[in-house]
Structure 1
Amino acid sequence: MPSVSSDPTSLDRPDDVAPSRSPRAVLRAVAVAILLATVGIVVGVALVGGAVLALTTAGVRVTPVLGLVLSLALATGVGFGGVALAYLRYRGSGLDYVGLGVPSVREVAYVVGGYVASFALLIAASVVLTATGTEAAPNTVAEVGMRNPEVLLLLIPASFLLIGPGEELLYRGVVQNRLGEALPAPAAIVLASLIFASIHFFSLAGAPRARLVSISVLVLPTLVFGTMYELTDNIAVPALIHGAYNATLFSLLYLTLRFASGGTNQFPEAAALLPA
């Protein structure tokens, strides 16, 4: 995976040079990764809060649906993506650091394989949760969609245009890459996945224990996203897998709400496991 030195003023390190794995380098990489994830959340919240304040001041009522739209556009798209791009600028790196290109035929195969693997893990986790009677926390985005099914039709394209690209650019392209400068690839993938899943604590509803259950499940598809990125060095690959994964769940939730008897009771596990 593309890598650069921990010195933001230095040139990119050649691919055949091993990353520094001294304790100091590892601690610095982990600290930077957590800081980037935190800054992404803070910037996103600030942007949404500012937009809500501006709209309220202008006399516009901010409904849950409008709030969701603002969150997707400002927090996920502008916030996460902006923080990632700002970090790349600080490092003196371009998009070549994250690897961005039109997927090749081989990479399309990885997208399909990653998509299937993500859902296989989701199904396995759902079976375990159901068999053990373990409660998972519902995702607030899915809850808004349950109350307003029409917004799910917006979330489907948003999964490809905003959620997948914005989150993958920050958490795989920047966070995972930064960790990979000081850690072996498997460790970087796992740690980046844990950081990414952990940020969803505040986007979940319910008791802390139920939220932790959902977070532990969210790690599973995220590990797939990170692995496919490591195998392809193309950020478009995990972005497409992530987008397709979310879009499929939003589509299934919409179809369930519209056409299945029992409505929201037919699809609770999937709604709780959205890594949005």
Structure 2
Amino acid sequence: MRNGVIIALAAALVTAGAAAAPAQAAPTHAAPATTTPTQAAPTKTRQAPSVTAREAYLVDTMDGTVQFAKRESRRVPVASLTKVMTAYVVRREARLDDVVTITKADVRYATAGGAATAGLRAGERLTVRDLLYGLMLPSGADAAHALAERYGPGTAKFVAKMNDAAQALGLRDTRYANADGMPSKAYSTARDQATLALAALRDPVIASVVKTPKRVVGKSALHRGHVWRNTNDLLDDGAVGLKTGFTNQAGYCLSFAAVRGGRTYVGVVLGERSDKARFATARKLLDWVSEGAASEGATGGVAEGAGVTLP
């Protein structure tokens, strides 16, 4: 991850907790910078928290300082965090009012793989706006497949666009193989996923979607009714996103953003041992960095000694 990327992307967030109005036009993004994030010198003896996740990363988006890092550059599967990139690419390829027809292949793909679904049925016609909620809240692999088939066109071409976007964002240790994160040879890192989270949150539509607890889509002549609930329990603690993920191969994963003490932090937890543990780890990291800032009497700066890298 590049320090310039973090600061440039974070500047567009302004206040991460503010409501973001949906827009039709997809925003442009700053080109990746070439500098690295800064590590605050550990001149104090404040103990870093014990983290059970295999990989973890936490960044202060205000100045790009790394607050916590554990195996942040190790290439691992990231499960449904993949869908953050899917949403990112869709926002650059589609209009929110485009209508997508759900096919038998979309439904069969999700159910055959045992993936989470948005409960879509063949023949339904939904807008891209609605499908983004179906993609991100219940983590619907059926929604991911439908969007990839439409905006590749075809899944292979869509995945190529995902990898092109990863390269443009400077995600050097990321490779996608599908649009949903089902087990494959795909990989990423906690550090790359933090950079992607910032880029995604800069999009006002994605930022609005990922902090929504529940989305109700009323029945119409084009589709049946749907109620989608966000799988991100961290929203109950004031988080403003972003995405959960799980496969047996990847473990329990979480990409998150939250405001503490007037500062926005973005973090990633990968390979955690349980659903409950991933949220507990995220809360622990956020509480730790907040307490550190308070103990140092910070008024807009990070706590001295907060930048910690674990082997």
Q: TM-score, normalised by structure 1?
A: 0.25
Higher-RCO chain (CA-CA 8 Å, sequence separation at least 6): 1
In terms of fraction of residues, the more helix-rich structure is 1
Q: TM-score, normalised by structure 2?
A: 0.23
